[in-house]
Amino acid sequence: MQTFIFLSCLLLAAQGYNILANPDAGDFTVFPLVNLGTGAFPTCMAFSPDGRIFIGQKNGMIKVVDANGNLQAGNWIDLSDRVNNAGDKGLTAIVLHPDFPKTPYLYATYPIWQSDSHDLNRVTQGVVGRYTENNGASSPSTELLIVGRVNGTGFPSCHNSHVTGDLVFGTDGTLFASAGEGSHWDAVDDGTDFPFDPYDWQCAPFFGAINDIGSFRAQHLTNIGGKVIRIDPLTGNGIGSTNFPNLVSNPFFDSQNPSSAASVTWSYGHRNPWKLRLRADSPAPGTLYIAEVGAKDYEEINVVKASDRGSNYGWPCQTANRRQQPWFTNTATPTEYYVPRYPTNQNTIDMCAALQPNLTNTKIPILYYSRSQYVYGEQIGIIGNCASGLSFYNGSSYPSAYRMKSDGSRSLFISDFGNQWIKVIRVDGNDQFIPSLGVQDFLDNVGTILTMTPSPVDGDLYYITEEGEINRIRYTAGYVGAPIVVASSNVTTLNMNNRAANFQFSSDGTFDPASLPITFSWTFGDNSSSTLPNPSHTYTSSGVFTVTLTVTNSAGYFATQSFKVATNNDAPTAKIAGAQWFQFDSGQSVTLTATFNDDITPANQLQWQWEYRLVHNNHYHPGVLTIPSVNLGTGSSSSTGGQVLSSLISVYERNTLEIYATAYDASGVSTRTKVIGVPNLPNNANYGNTAPVANFTTEQKGSSVYFDGGVSFDFDIDYLYYSWIWGDGTNGTGMVNHHTYSNSGTYVVSLTVVDPWQATSTYTHSVDYVAPAGVTSSGAASSSSPSSTNGGATGDVASSSTQATQTNANPTSSVAGGQTTQVDNDPQATQSATPTSSFVKENSGSAALLVGIVPLVAVLLM
């Protein structure tokens, strides 16, 4: 215990850093590369030396963006039949062999299905598989499991979250893999079976009773949970003097059993080591930096040098610089997260105290931060929630302050999922944080960032959000190039036999990185066009039309984006019976019934899917409840989604449930609707919820105004839903927006934020908008030219059939028409597609509660 106090003092001193504003703020611009669409759920990427970018999705599909920035059709490989994609689980990392494509191997890590049941709590194990490329693609038949070939030897997963982590090659060609300890994140887990978890009992039979110890798996070398392992990428064996005499040996290597958990272990005592980055210029096999997601108190950035191999990083007995209180008896301070479910058992178990001798040399992070400014009275400074990415910068286009220096110092970029920021620190040649340089803000409001990777091709940082975006961060001071174009419509399909085929198009989100004036040119696919930023258009014939927006700046650079709309099909309707908001008791079974209808697809061919999201703090945990079903009979279709609440919710947690029913018609067009469940908590229905406070900042950038609602505040760090009224008759959603007005003038803008407990706050503020000179089509003149874009449709579509011809029949994707194209005449710009349009729409009932499409969010981290 004295050791802890000593370390605590040391680290307190080390954490006394400054938060510095970014001197280059505004000179970095996020360029969309591709958008896979909400629901595709990319989690990881890998760059090939041939210019391809491999993108892994949570569901096990791996896609390729070619060297020209175009998303290739289909999958490089589809592992969805074996990837356990329930809840937070899924494919979390891919890595290419260092000699790829000459040595044509890709490695992937994911929890595997152990049976047909898709219940997210089912006990399973994480694996590492190797896949071979042949003619530009691969197939599951090439799979060779190098971790988890035998039941019980993979990464243990005895609950529903933090299983697999990351993969990275060492400089000596060995492979590192990280994994969480696979225990309950929602309580102190010492291995005791939880009554609300119907599968907890399977942990002992599958992994052995010795490993049915919850979080304590991280402390024991009898399993590979909560570890970083280092293996031979051909066999999965640990690295030792008998099999690799010329390499640094693993610390607990056992030549009698080279594949044992001890033989493969490199470091231990990790909770959820989500991302690994290798510092290439370090002694072999390389210094690892780890973004480690903490429980409730701290996020950690850990370093494992070669000389640190075999070190204990402390979990679950230590977090950041201190004891993890609830795991020690008698000192537990119950909190909303860690009220033990078994108070009686807690009095008899003191495993951290028993482990004390093994905790004397635990490693502490080089940097840690928390969800709140003060933790245990200590001021942390930066606030975040789920450390999600790490990157060194090794390019030459960012300013010199970010580059590698000959003194050995490096910029380390750190991303946070919940608070959606990227910050940067400097580490010295000895891998120590340089406190005098502080923690510098880099980018805010980057979205729900899941990982960040530097491109070996252009040096820039790329990142993935769970909304499906792959973005590139470029330094754009002195930028000469194309604008960033974002085009969308309020609906992407409707049936003109039922009503006017009137679509509202929007260029919201479009802007020019150099703030040059821009002009808009829309073509609607029926020979009519518009130069308004946000035109509406009525089609007069039935069919599928390609809508294209071209945005040109005053320097003559342009970019375009296309997507498809259809006038021959309405999206189905979906409605969940009953109130939009209900309360339930923990463990209570609630039956929900949804009704679906469609204009064209018969009821017995409609498909549907139930999903839930467990919402707390500022993030979600996703889950799919049932597999899409067919054959509902005739007439209006209904589907029952019951049983769901019983195993998910503990009354001790300040959670809400969002439950979604999505209907898909035969063309793949979908509609999603939602209800919200709030647990009946003891004494206080809102469990002490504090209402948020809405606020936003504005800044005109060229022809658009940048609105940032991220300055809104919620005491409870709840996830907030943002709805905007722009004051020009249009509305928006999302935390950050670029909005373009048609005319100069003063607009009264209001932002309403809603937390999951339905507490709302509205902030209203006037914005003076000055249309830039040279933007003739979007200037004041446009108001006097009445919508001239209607009625231009004649000719070719008249001959097209009235059949539904939507090209996107994939019910898991909501992106219209598959691929879109983005033409770009800037030779340096490689962005190719930003399909923001979606067939998904909320039914009007639920939209009244929470405006807009809520992004499909997940945390694979917590």
Ligand X SMILES: *[C@@H]1O[C@H](CO)[C@@H](O)[C@H](O)[C@H]1NC(C)=O
Q: Which residues in this chain contact Ca ion in the complex, by CB under 5 A? A: 569-570, 598-600, 665
For residue 407, CA distances in Å to 364, 404, 410, 429 come to 24, 9, 9, 7
Pick the binder of ligand X from 117, 361, 504, 764 (CB under 6 A): 504
Question: Which of 570, 842 has the CB closer to Ca ion?
Answer: 570
Taking 3-state DSSP, the helix, strand and coil percentages for the chain, each rounded to the nearest 5, stand at 10, 35, 55
User: Which amino acid is present at 366?
Assistant: I
Pick the binder of ligand X from 9, 10, 280, 685 (CB under 6 A): 280
Pick the binder of ligand X from 139, 455, 536, 586 (CB under 6 A): 536
Question: Which of 464, 606 has the CB closer to Ca ion?
Answer: 606
Residue 546 Cβ vs ligand X, minimum distance, rounded to whole Å: 11
Question: Which of 569, 656 has the CB closer to Ca ion?
Answer: 569
Residue 226 Cβ vs ligand X, minimum distance, rounded to whole Å: 14
Contact by Cβ (8 Å): 696, 711: yes
| Binders of ligand X in range 367-396 (CB under 6 A) | 394
Pick the binder of ligand X from 651, 711, 759, 823 (CB under 6 A): 711
If one asks whether residue 222 binds ligand X (CB under 6 A), the answer comes out as no
Residue 829 Cβ vs ligand X, minimum distance, rounded to whole Å: 21
355 binds, among ligand X, Ca ion, none (CB under 5 to 8 A by kind): ligand X
User: Nearest CA to 39 among 840, 860, 847, 848?
Assistant: 840
If one asks whether residue 849 binds ligand X (CB under 6 A), the answer comes out as no
Query: If residue 390 lies in a helix (H) or strand (E), which one and from where to where?
Result: strand 387-392
Residue 35 Cβ vs ligand X, minimum distance, rounded to whole Å: 22
Residue 717 Cβ vs ligand X, minimum distance, rounded to whole Å: 16
Residue 357 Cβ vs ligand X, minimum distance, rounded to whole Å: 6
Query: If residue 623 lies in a helix (H) or strand (E), which one and from where to where?
Result: strand 619-624
Question: Which of 268, 620 has the CB closer to ligand X?
Answer: 268
Residue 605 Cβ vs Ca ion, minimum distance, rounded to whole Å: 11
Task: Tell how strand 704-708 and strand 736-740 pair up.
Answer: antiparallel
Task: Tell how strand 421-427 and strand 410-416 pair up.
Answer: antiparallel
If one asks whether residue 730 binds ligand X (CB under 6 A), the answer comes out as yes
If one asks whether residue 627 binds ligand X (CB under 6 A), the answer comes out as no
Residue 839 Cβ vs ligand X, minimum distance, rounded to whole Å: 12
Contact by Cβ (8 Å): 384, 416: yes
Q: Cβ of 92: how many Cβ atoms within 10 Å?
A: 31
- Please count the residues of this chain forming the interface with ligand X, following the rule CB under 6 A: 29
If one asks whether residue 546 binds ligand X (CB under 6 A), the answer comes out as no
Question: Which of 539, 608 has the CB closer to ligand X?
Answer: 539
Structure tokens at 295: 């429980």
If one asks whether residue 796 binds ligand X (CB under 6 A), the answer comes out as yes
If one asks whether residue 795 binds ligand X (CB under 6 A), the answer comes out as yes
The DSSP call for residue 848 is H
Residue 208 Cβ vs ligand X, minimum distance, rounded to whole Å: 13
C-alpha angle with apex 276: 33 to 618, nearest 5 degrees?
65
Site map 744..783 versus ligand X, x via CB under 6 A: ----------------------------------------
Question: Which of 629, 794 has the CB closer to ligand X?
Answer: 794
Site map 134..153 versus ligand X, x via CB under 6 A: -----------------x--
Q: Choose the stretch contacting ligand X; rule: CB under 6 A; options: 170-178, 439-447, 584-592, 795-803.
A: 795-803
Q: What is the 3-state secondary structure (H, E, C) of 134-174?
A: ECCECCHHHCEEEECCCCCCCEEECCCCCCEEEEEECCCCC
Question: Which of 358, 700 has the CB closer to ligand X?
Answer: 358
Contact by Cβ (8 Å): 407, 373: no
Q: Choose the stretch contacting ligand X; rule: CB under 6 A; options: 57-65, 253-261, 353-361, 515-523.
A: 353-361
Question: Which of 332, 815 has the CB closer to Ca ion?
Answer: 815
Classified as helix, coil or strand, 732 is strand
Question: Which of 500, 780 has the CB closer to ligand X?
Answer: 500
If one asks whether residue 695 binds ligand X (CB under 6 A), the answer comes out as yes
Backbone angles phi, psi at 605, to 5 degrees: -115, 0
**Order of strands, edge to edge, in the sheet holding 53-57?**
42-47, 53-57, 61-65, 77-78
Site map 225..254 versus ligand X, x via CB under 6 A: ------------------------------
Contact by Cβ (8 Å): 343, 298: no
Site map 107..136 versus ligand X, x via CB under 6 A: -------xx---------------------
665 binds, among ligand X, Ca ion, none (CB under 5 to 8 A by kind): Ca ion
The DSSP call for residue 527 is S
If one asks whether residue 651 binds ligand X (CB under 6 A), the answer comes out as no
Contact by Cβ (8 Å): 718, 512: no
d(CA 279, CA 168): 11
Q: How far apart are the first and last CA of the chain?
A: 27
Question: Which of 631, 697 has the CB closer to ligand X?
Answer: 697
Question: Which of 466, 570 has the CB closer to ligand X?
Answer: 570
Site map 797..836 versus ligand X, x via CB under 6 A: x---------------------------------------
d(CA 23, CA 701): 18
Q: What is the largest CA-CA distance in the chain?
A: 84
Chain residue whose CB lies nearest Ca ion: 665
Q: Choose the stretch contacting ligand X; rule: CB under 6 A; options: 70-78, 223-231, 351-359, 361-369.
A: 351-359
Classified as helix, coil or strand, 714 is coil
Q: What is the CA radius of gyration of the chain?
A: 27
d(CA 594, CA 508): 33
Contact by Cβ (8 Å): 237, 263: yes
* Upstream peptide bond of 104 is cis (omega within 30 degrees of 0): no
d(CA 700, CA 690): 32
Structure tokens at 173: 């060609």
Chain residues that interact with ligand X, rule: CB under 6 A? 114-115, 151, 280-281, 354-355, 358, 394, 490-491, 502-504, 526-527, 536, 695, 697, 711, 725, 729-731, 793-797
